[in-house]
Amino acid sequence: MNAGRIKLGMLGGGKGAFIGIAHRIAAYMGERYHLIGGAFDVNYELGLEFAKDLELDESRVYPDVEALIENENKLPEEDRMEVVSIVTPNFLHFGMAKRLLESGFHVVCEKPMTMTANEAEILEGLVNSTGKKLCLTHTYTGYPMVRQMKTMIAAGEIGEIQKVDVQYYQGWINPVVHDKELRKTVWRLDPAKSGISSCIGDIGLHGFNLVEYTTGIEINEVLSDLNHLYDDNPLDVDGTVLLRMEGGIKGVLRASQIATGEENNLTIKVYGRKGAFKWGQENPNELTLLKQDEPFQVYKPGHPYNAQFTADSTKMAPGHPEGIFDAMGNLYRGFAKAVRGEKLEEGDYPNVHDGVRGMHFIEKVVKSNKEGNTWVSIL
Amino acid sequence: MNAGRIKLGMLGGGKGAFIGIAHRIAAYMGERYHLIGGAFDVNYELGLEFAKDLELDESRVYPDVEALIENENKLPEEDRMEVVSIVTPNFLHFGMAKRLLESGFHVVCEKPMTMTANEAEILEGLVNSTGKKLCLTHTYTGYPMVRQMKTMIAAGEIGEIQKVDVQYYQGWINPVVHDKELRKTVWRLDPAKSGISSCIGDIGLHGFNLVEYTTGIEINEVLSDLNHLYDDNPLDVDGTVLLRMEGGIKGVLRASQIATGEENNLTIKVYGRKGAFKWGQENPNELTLLKQDEPFQVYKPGHPYNAQFTADSTKMAPGHPEGIFDAMGNLYRGFAKAVRGEKLEEGDYPNVHDGVRGMHFIEKVVKSNKEGNTWVSIL
Amino acid sequence: MNAGRIKLGMLGGGKGAFIGIAHRIAAYMGERYHLIGGAFDVNYELGLEFAKDLELDESRVYPDVEALIENENKLPEEDRMEVVSIVTPNFLHFGMAKRLLESGFHVVCEKPMTMTANEAEILEGLVNSTGKKLCLTHTYTGYPMVRQMKTMIAAGEIGEIQKVDVQYYQGWINPVVHDKELRKTVWRLDPAKSGISSCIGDIGLHGFNLVEYTTGIEINEVLSDLNHLYDDNPLDVDGTVLLRMEGGIKGVLRASQIATGEENNLTIKVYGRKGAFKWGQENPNELTLLKQDEPFQVYKPGHPYNAQFTADSTKMAPGHPEGIFDAMGNLYRGFAKAVRGEKLEEGDYPNVHDGVRGMHFIEKVVKSNKEGNTWVSIL
Amino acid sequence: MNAGRIKLGMLGGGKGAFIGIAHRIAAYMGERYHLIGGAFDVNYELGLEFAKDLELDESRVYPDVEALIENENKLPEEDRMEVVSIVTPNFLHFGMAKRLLESGFHVVCEKPMTMTANEAEILEGLVNSTGKKLCLTHTYTGYPMVRQMKTMIAAGEIGEIQKVDVQYYQGWINPVVHDKELRKTVWRLDPAKSGISSCIGDIGLHGFNLVEYTTGIEINEVLSDLNHLYDDNPLDVDGTVLLRMEGGIKGVLRASQIATGEENNLTIKVYGRKGAFKWGQENPNELTLLKQDEPFQVYKPGHPYNAQFTADSTKMAPGHPEGIFDAMGNLYRGFAKAVRGEKLEEGDYPNVHDGVRGMHFIEKVVKSNKEGNTWVSIL
């Protein structure tokens, strides 16, 4: 039986890949994983070289997921990888995750989890049937003040929710999208690699997840207006989505990759009868609480007034800012608890069901837009 | 022929009325008007008492607009009121403005200009036929940094516009709307006094106007989702409106009176191919300019780098903040130039045509919502 | 006996003078003064022309203060100017204020009140002996949130004060001071016109006043380090002053005119045993309250949680920012109450005693620096 | 000869120690160190237990620094620890660092480096004589925007520097210092453990270092005013220090542990003839550049406009905030380059000379205060 540090493998994330760095740091910082090996690059030689830089055992570097599964499963259980992180482009997630779950591995998967809702449901079925777990890296749920918001909303601090407004604005695709040739070279705008949506699939999805995560309330229906900017651009680069949530709550989700000059401007505002919360990802250590005719309050990490869940998600004393790696580290830490069968908090890590909901969201948003901006049920 | 200070009358704005204070200060601060008299209160005695406090000539205090018109027109032209400001509740605007324009007076009118688009067009016809002018107090267009944004957009600073996002969030109606009895006592929620919309009619309208003012581009179509919160609440208290502008530009307008704890959180973001502007009303002296991969820049009033129109709209040196009265003062100053036949800047004061467009906007937003959130043309 | 609007005269503030505009707007906005006339310019013809623009009665426009006094005093008491505002360069304040007080006029005076502490004491003696009042326009004391801070400190909200830190940073003199020829042309750097200090006398003084105003505690001793930048520059353009207050409280005051790029960056932080306040002039409608291990709170104007004094200093509902003119307007309003014998709030307007203390502060700061940065008593 | 990952040991930093977590994460994140063992706790058994949690080899866990040195030096060179991090309380730094340097180890040392300037100079002598290196963890120098500021100042972006203002305000000692009994239990206020200064020694020191780091200019003289609050409190909890730098530049350093409600509010402002920089630690990813009569600019990490040194200190794309661990990680990364003999950037890690200067600073600030707030030379 396994105990102690969790043996971690990785698919993708080789030399120069931002996302691989993020996952490795996230795994290191909680001191609950050992990175053992993986298939870091489609080019095996490059992957091997990269693994050498990391001083990993060469025998644990594989050309692909199948080789990894075959060889790891030959090893004694106590040596075998237990968790494998998938940090490849979108179109590879499903196949890899499916094979890993089937073959006895827990999975950490970058989002979007799959290319279709159908695939997502297959993975959910596998998680249920195999008992293996899947952590979907909706990283923003790992920020301490997001968790504080979730906890305080659940405790009734702002009363019954009556309006939600979430935004994720980037501008990075702007210099690409206006250049017809350049546009073709970007995988985000290639449906074969990116799926049926660029903007909604990549970042609108985060907004969707953040709303459901913080409020604990499901989004039932969507009406979307997407923007491709050009007729020959196959994917959306901007979109606004009207939301109807359980209990008739209305909301709006705004996402853009053509919001020139914006970086990762993800903000959420949740308005309840008694108060409201506002939070933004680029300054993640401030959570604003509004109440009618009271001075507004700003919560920060590290203080005894925070919930236990928030405290567990913070390593430093107040005033020394933690950042994006710490948020992802909190997901890895939560998943380690799940893998080791420890007591979990509600929301400790985003799971396969969040992935299923997310894929339905993407599909229905695209459908609403295609059908002329009409209301479509998520499920 | 008139010259020098403009003789100003006022309808409404008696004791304790915020809006009256704002208009008087706005008129005083540019030193181009003399307040002469008016009909300050539906109760003539109260209006008279109020006028005495202001040390106005009692003979120029009237019971109503008709008395004002009749008596003023008996005076020699050089003594007569030239401009009359209407600061009464919404449902009185049209009748008063109509009679004043017909009778030879210029008009300053609070927004919304009328109860219906039809009325608005009648006023526009009168302005055209009489040569008298109407200033609609879309106050936010008077802020220097809004004018700087308008000027720089017109000069091409951010290139072709590709996305617009405007928000006006308040929370003040929140404690009212949940109380069925209290709700009946508030004129904003009474269609007879407020018109067919509360939230969109009062504040969504500002968002609409600000988009057209700053971009110089018209909004052509709307798709709205309004929220009354309760079936027996006759008017919207929240709404999101998808926008289609000239040239196919997409945008979104968000307005709420149930955004608990918000004060007058009006923000606008305009994204162009080359850059973007962001501005917010509660901190009005900062205008942010974003460009891809450049440090973002913050423009402030009083500096030589600003446009002449901005400079003309600023009285102090940099770093001494001007505020809402100064914004409205800029409208009064612009209107004084119009009344005296001086050279105007584009955008010096919002006029009757802005009012016509605004009334169509309100009607079509309500229509879209009633018809099940479909696209409706503004005109 | 006088009643109703106060008849106001003005010395200085002619065409193009920022400070005159500020005083006139401040006087207009509370609707308690009528501007009657004055001596607006050293050049009588220019002053007269300016007065015509304002449509003032030519007979009330004077070549100088002596003419004003002589002629006004010939008028019936009920017609006579009651208050005269002095908005001339520094070196003229004392003589004008002295003659006005001696001759039966109340005085509004720009700061610094005089050129020396001795002159200031003479004015204080005159105020005491004549019963005429003097309002010193330390404008920043008129901001509603400064008044809120003062009131809450007095009420014990932050407990016993243990540290004070005030800053006033500007950069405007930077392009001047490095140019030996240009430097000679600026009256701020001419001791004959400006007094013994530039930076401390002009803006350090505001910091001093703001500390004493908000805390209600006197500064007893100073140790200063001033910077002239060049040996042949007769006046300081930058300085740091260590403070010792009543009860042994320590503090620091920092002022600069060479803080390149700063506008009017006046900030104050007051730390008590139980909490702390932070406020800044360039964003004057936010007052931050810190408490150990509590979310920090931000107070804004217009809310019922504010003190009555704050409410009286605010005209608009929350979220519509007032600015610098409104702050000065509050001083004029407070002084009107004093002139008419109405009930005053503590701190309604800065008075001649504040002026005396301020002049001692300037002199002792300069002395400390000259003596090699040693401690010097204010009195 | 050593190559690849650096073998790292640690002294102190056992269970529950914040600072140990920070150093370990910092070492992990650059993937250039392997943590091998150390002496984690004064109680050997606790240290061993802690090491087991980290799954370290028990044979590399030692009771103290002497045991570590003796045993490690018996190992073949290629297995031996190369760098040892000292994260114990202040009073142990010197002895440990001295023995390690003498015995062939590179050292990472928490600040303050020693208890006295004399000790610091001994360490500097050892670094020079042994060729072993010492990294002093002035963590704030690791923030990318601090490095951007340093680089741009060196490149002349703001011209000749004419004023410096640095602040480090905390409030944490406030609830301690007023309680005479509690006060005795806190090692920060015990001269035997903390040295001759609490506030200046702990946080004022960071301000000193940050000024010299960013400007590249040395501070020559200080005049200080420290505050113990109580006569029987042996150490300062607050202080202001006037600075004289090379070339006669004046500045001010403000530090406090009784700034109630402040967390780690470290800010620096550097004013030059042509422009100015402002930066604050609690929002570390924004660097403001001011220029006279230009819109102010805000630099953020991850953009191509940043210097190479800044780019090397950033792992993520723009808009995903990195934090305090990343800053410390940059120091570890820089030190790894030094240990492996790779090309260094100016300022890659703070070294023993920074430690010598810092200890002189602390001693001379205390001396100035004792002598009645007089000027004292640093050296």
Report pLDDT for D1. 56
Q: Across the interface, do D292 and C175 touch by the CB < 8 Å criterion? A: yes
Domain range for D87 is: 6-140
Start-to-end CA distance of chain A, whole Å, equals 40
Instruction: Tell me whether residue B264 is in a domain.
Output: yes
How sure is the predictor about B1, in pLDDT bands with cuts at 50, 70 and 90? low
Give the Cα separation of C72 and C7 in Å (integer): 11
Give the Cα separation of D320 and C360 in Å (integer): 52
What is the 8-class DSSP label of residue D191? H
- For residue C156, the tally of other CB atoms under 10 A from its CB is 11
Collapsed DSSP state (helix, strand, coil) of residue D178? coil
Choosing from D107, D140, D173, the residue where a domain stops is: D140
Q: Which helix (H) or strand (E) holds D251?
A: strand D250-256
Report the residue from A31, A55, A322 with minimal CB separation from D323. Answer: A322
Please state the rounded mean pLDDT for residues A121-145. Answer: 98
Is residue C216 located within the same domain as residue C103? Answer: no
Report the residue from B229, B262, B271 with minimal CB separation from A290. Answer: B262
Q: What is the pLDDT of residues D254-300, one digit of tens each?
A: 999 999 999 999 999 999 999 999 999 999 999 999 999 999 999 99
Is residue C116 located within the same domain as residue C155? Answer: no
**Looking at beta carbons, which residues of chain A come within 8 Å of D262?**
319
How large is the ipTM? Answer: 0.96
Whose tokens are 């406009």? That residue is D305
Is residue D172 located within the same domain as residue D259? Answer: yes
What is the 8-class DSSP label of residue C203? I
Average pLDDT per block of 10 residues along chain C, 379 residues long: 88 92 97 97 96 95 98 96 96 97 98 96 98 98 98 98 98 96 92 94 98 98 98 97 98 98 98 98 98 96 98 96 98 98 96 98 98 97
Instruction: Tell me whether residue C377 is in a domain.
Output: no
Report pLDDT for C1. 56
Beta bridge partners of A245: A219
Report pLDDT for D16. 85
Cα-based distances in Å from C177 to A144, C167, D94 = 49, 21, 48
Give the Cα separation of B61 and C12 in Å (integer): 35
**Looking at beta carbons, which residues of chain D come within 8 Å of B299?**
295
Collapsed DSSP state (helix, strand, coil) of residue A214? helix
Dump strand ranges (E) for D94-229.
Answer: 106-109, 134-136, 161-169, 219-227
How sure is the predictor about B128, in pLDDT bands with cuts at 50, 70 and 90? very high
Give the Cα separation of B99 and B65 in Å (integer): 8
Report the residue from C262, C265, C323 with minimal CB separation from B326. Answer: C323
Compute the half-sphere exposure of residue C2: CA atoms within 13 Å on the CB side of its CA.
22
Report the residue from B229, B252, B273 with minimal CB separation from A174. Answer: B273
Cα-based distances in Å from A124 to A66, A343, C214 = 21, 22, 62
**Looking at beta carbons, which residues of chain C come within 8 Å of A295?**
289, 297-300, 303, 305
Q: How many beta-carbon contacts under 8 Å exist across A and C?
A: 34
Radius of gyration of chain C (CA): 21
**Least CA distance to B34: which residue of chain C?**
C55
Residue B375, pLDDT above cutoff 60: yes
Chain C adjacent subunits, 3+ CB pairs under 8 A? A, B, D
Query: Is-contact B97 B130, C-beta < 8 A?
Result: no
The pair of three-digit structure tokens given for residue B38, joined into one six-digit string: 């008016």
Instruction: Tell me whether residue D341 is in a domain.
Output: no
| The amino acid at A27 | A
Give the Cα separation of C373 and D368 in Å (integer): 12
**Least CA distance to C158: which residue of chain D?**
D260
Query: Is-contact B163 B248, C-beta < 8 A?
Result: no
Instruction: Tell me whether residue A279 is in a domain.
Output: yes
CATH number at residue C275: 3.30.360.10
Phi-psi region of C12 (alpha: psi -120 to 50; beta: other; left: phi over 0): left
Query: Is-contact B292 B162, C-beta < 8 A?
Result: no
Distance in Å, alpha carbon of A165 to nearest chain C alpha carbon: 20
Q: What is the pLDDT of residues D130-166, one digit of tens each?
A: 999 999 999 999 999 999 999 999 999 999 999 999 9
Q: Across the interface, do C305 and A298 touch by the CB < 8 Å criterion? A: no
Instruction: Tell me whether residue C72 is in a domain.
Output: yes
Residue D185, pLDDT above cutoff 60: yes
Distance in Å, alpha carbon of D262 to nearest chain B alpha carbon: 24
- For residue A155, the tally of other CB atoms under 10 A from its CB is 9
Is residue D176 located within the same domain as residue D297? Answer: yes
Q: Across the interface, do A252 and B254 touch by the CB < 8 Å criterion? A: yes
Distance in Å, alpha carbon of B164 to nearest chain C alpha carbon: 23
Report pLDDT for C2. 73
The 3-class secondary structure across chain B, one letter per residue, is CCCCCEEEEEECCCCCCHHHHHHHHHHHHCCCEEEEEEECCCCHHHHHHHHHHCCCCHHHECCCHHHHHHHHHHCCCCCCCCEEEECCCHHHHHHHHHHHHHCCCEEEECCCCCCCHHHHHHHHHHHHHHCCCEEECCHHHHCHHHHHHHHHHHCCCCCCEEEEEEEEECCCCHHHHCCHHHHHCCHHHCHHHHCCCCHHHHHHHHHHHHHHHHHCCCEEEEEEEEECCCCCCCCCCEEEEEEEEHHHCEEEEEEECCCCCCCCEEEEEEEECCCEEEEECCCCCCEEEECCCCCEEEECCCCCCCCHHHHHCCCCCCCCCCCHHHHHHHHHHHHHHHHCCCCCCCCCCCEHHHHHHHHHHHHHHHHHHHCCCCCEECC
Most C CBs within 10 A among B78, B263, B303, hence the mutation to make, goes to: B263
Most B CBs within 10 A among C23, C34, C325, hence the mutation to make, goes to: C325
| The amino acid at D316 | M
Instruction: Tell me whether residue C336 is in a domain.
Output: no
Residue D36, pLDDT above cutoff 60: yes
Instruction: Tell me whether residue D339 is in a domain.
Output: no
Instruction: Tell me whether residue A197 is in a domain.
Output: yes
Tell me how many domains chain A contains: 1
The 3-class secondary structure across D262-312, one letter per residue, is CCCEEEEEEEECCCEEEEECCCCCCEEEECCCCCEEEECCCCCCCCHHHHH
Is residue D223 located within the same domain as residue D100? Answer: no
Mean pLDDT score of chain B: 97
Cα-based distances in Å from C171 to B287, B378, D145 = 21, 50, 23
Report pLDDT for C3. 80
Torsion of CA D50, D52, D53, D54, to 10 degrees: 90
Is residue D286 located within the same domain as residue D203? Answer: yes
Distance in Å, alpha carbon of B145 to nearest chain D alpha carbon: 12
**Looking at beta carbons, which residues of chain B come within 8 Å of D294?**
303, 305
Q: What is the pLDDT of residues B46-89, one digit of tens each?
A: 999 999 999 999 999 999 999 999 999 999 999 999 999 999 98
Residue A198, pLDDT above cutoff 90: yes
Is residue D99 located within the same domain as residue D172? Answer: no
Q: What is the pLDDT of residues B255-304, one digit of tens each?
A: 999 999 999 999 999 999 999 999 999 999 999 999 999 999 999 999 99
Q: How many beta-carbon contacts under 8 Å exist across A and D?
A: 108
Which chain D residues touch C if contact means CB-CB below 8 Å? 158, 162-163, 165, 171-172, 174-175, 178, 223, 225, 227, 229, 238, 240, 242, 250, 252, 254, 256, 258-262, 269, 271-276, 290-292, 294, 296, 373, 375
Give the Cα separation of C277 and C289 in Å (integer): 5
Contacts of D43 (CB under 8 A, 6+ apart): none
Q: What is the pLDDT of residues C221-262, one digit of tens each?
A: 999 999 999 999 999 999 999 999 999 999 999 999 999 999
Report pLDDT for A1. 56
Choosing from C90, C123, C140, the residue where a domain stops is: C140
Distance in Å, alpha carbon of A252 to nearest chain B alpha carbon: 7
Which chain C residues touch B if contact means CB-CB below 8 Å? 4-5, 18, 21-22, 24-25, 28-29, 31, 34, 53-55, 170, 172, 262-265, 281-285, 300, 302, 315-326
Q: What is the pLDDT of residues B19-30, one digit of tens each?
A: 999 999 999 999
- For residue C16, the tally of other CB atoms under 10 A from its CB is 8
Distance in Å, alpha carbon of A254 to nearest chain B alpha carbon: 9
Is residue D96 located within the same domain as residue D207? Answer: no
Is residue D355 located within the same domain as residue D242? Answer: yes
Give the Cα separation of C36 and C2 in Å (integer): 15
Is residue C178 located within the same domain as residue C124? Answer: no
Residue A345, pLDDT above cutoff 60: yes
Give the Cα separation of B150 and B299 in Å (integer): 13
**Looking at beta carbons, which residues of chain B come within 8 Å of C319?**
170, 262-265, 281-282
Q: Across the interface, do B261 and A238 touch by the CB < 8 Å criterion? A: no
Chain B adjacent subunits, 3+ CB pairs under 8 A? A, C, D
Distance in Å, alpha carbon of A120 to nearest chain D alpha carbon: 27
Report pLDDT for A14. 94
Q: What is the pLDDT of residues B96-118, one digit of tens each?
A: 999 999 999 999 999 999 999 99
Report pLDDT for B16. 85
Stated pTM of the model = 0.97
Q: Across the interface, do B325 and C29 touch by the CB < 8 Å criterion? A: yes
Choosing from C103, C125, C140, the residue where a domain stops is: C140
Whose tokens are 């309050």? That residue is A297
**Least CA distance to D259: which residue of chain C?**
C271
Is residue D128 located within the same domain as residue D184? Answer: no
